[in-house]
Amino acid sequence: MIKPSKPDNEAQRLLALQRYQILDTPRERSFDDLVTIATALCGTRMGAVTLVDQDRQWFKSRQLLEAAETHRDISFCGHAILQPDQVMVVEDALADPRFFDNPVVVDDPHVRFYAGAPLLSSEGLPLGTLCVFDALPGHLSVGQREALSALSRQVSLVMELRRYAHEIQQHMTDRAWYEQRLAEYNELLEQQNADLAEQSRTDPLTGLPNRRAMSAALEAAVIDADGQPRATAVALLDIDHFKTVNDLYGHATGDHVLAELARLLRAHFAGHGLAARYGGEEFVVLMPDTPLATAELQCDFLRMAVADLPLGLPLTISIGVAAHRHGDAIEQTLARADAALYRAKGDGRNRVIRAD
């Protein structure tokens, strides 16, 4: 095991950490929520907000982790803060000379995979990390790394908000100072809420709206401003044999394929539709004011455009398309499109099938 060294600015770093008055405080919902989002985005069972003190790492928030703190010498986060401008990823701790015999690797909680994004003070000093980890080896895509880094900035922002709140309480007698700090507090809070709202509605890898955002758009698209039904079509598309792409070319190439398909979808439906990532290699397209025959034709043009993408590997998609019927629930329309997609794959893939 290799113990983490200490940053050159260790004294300033510890002073900055003390100014936040956060060590040994009770758990708070705002930190727990960010850990929950981080583990969901990165697909891990465990996660934490870790603050690196002089001789220990202390967990402000933790998920599926028993200890409230551990010694700094055995901490992964002690290594992560040494590079405050990047996310540290350990795909398999047993294969890493720094950690293969670490007590938290060989004993509970048996950490094999770790990813930590440093938490920075307002002066840019590393205070700890937002980290996710698991008992199995793992991998983060570029999009997941960026999302984890974005969430770590949100944790730092919440810490700033706490510090402002303490300062406000201590200076209530100075009305001018109080009003100025309150305005800054509200501005930071609005920024955090806006960033979190955007992250909760956007897929980090492709930049497309996610399933939640598409559901809201579907509900709004099937009626016009006067409450009358609109001729709306919905298509579900799936990349053919995507598992083979990952197995033969690697997950990085798989992520590139998803990102390029997303770019094509944005261009293909710009101005007259909305595309979203539905999950995995499956996407959904909303086409308002579009009859089913026209939607089927647009989907066939998309299918041919995908086959011509300059990816260096063969790629095709299967598509099921359905028209929304007045009186049906959105889930029923999606189910009909999904059934059509299933038939398209069953009939040999690389084709468009429309629902009856």
In whole angstroms, how far apart are CA 47 and each of 4, 31, 34, 77, 254?
A: 20, 11, 10, 12, 26
Q: What is the pLDDT of residues 329-346, one digit of tens each?
A: 888 888 999 999 999 999
Q: Which two tokens stand for residue 125?
A: 């000093």
Give per-residue burial for 307-344: e unless 16+ CB within 10 Å, then b: eeeeeeeebebbbbbbbbeeeeebeebbebbbbbbeeb
Q: Which two tokens stand for residue 266?
A: 């944005």
pLDDT of 218 reads 78
First-residue to last-residue Cα distance in the chain? 63
Q: Which of 113, 26, 90 is nearest to 61 (CA)?
A: 26
Residue 133: CB atoms within 10 Å: 27
Q: Which of 193, 159, 167, 183 is nearest to 49 (CA)?
A: 159
Q: Are 253 and 313 in contact (CB under 8 A)?
A: yes
Q: What is the pLDDT of residues 168-214, one digit of tens each?
A: 777 766 666 667 777 777 777 666 655 554 555 778 888 888 877 77
pLDDT at 7 over 80: yes
Q: Which two tokens stand for residue 349?
A: 């893939």
> What band does 219 get if pLDDT is binned at 50, 70 and 90?
confident
pLDDT at 123 over 70: yes
Q: Are 274 and 286 in contact (CB under 8 A)?
A: yes
pLDDT of 204 reads 81
> What band does 242 get if pLDDT is binned at 50, 70 and 90?
very high
For the ranges 154-163, 217-226, 248-257, 298-307, the lowest mean pLDDT is seen at 217-226
pLDDT of 194 reads 53
pLDDT at 328 over 90: no
User: Catalytic residues, which ones?
Assistant: 281
Q: Are 317 and 306 in contact (CB under 8 A)?
A: yes
Q: What is the mean pLDDT of the chain?
A: 89
pLDDT of 114 reads 98
> What band does 135 get if pLDDT is binned at 50, 70 and 90?
very high
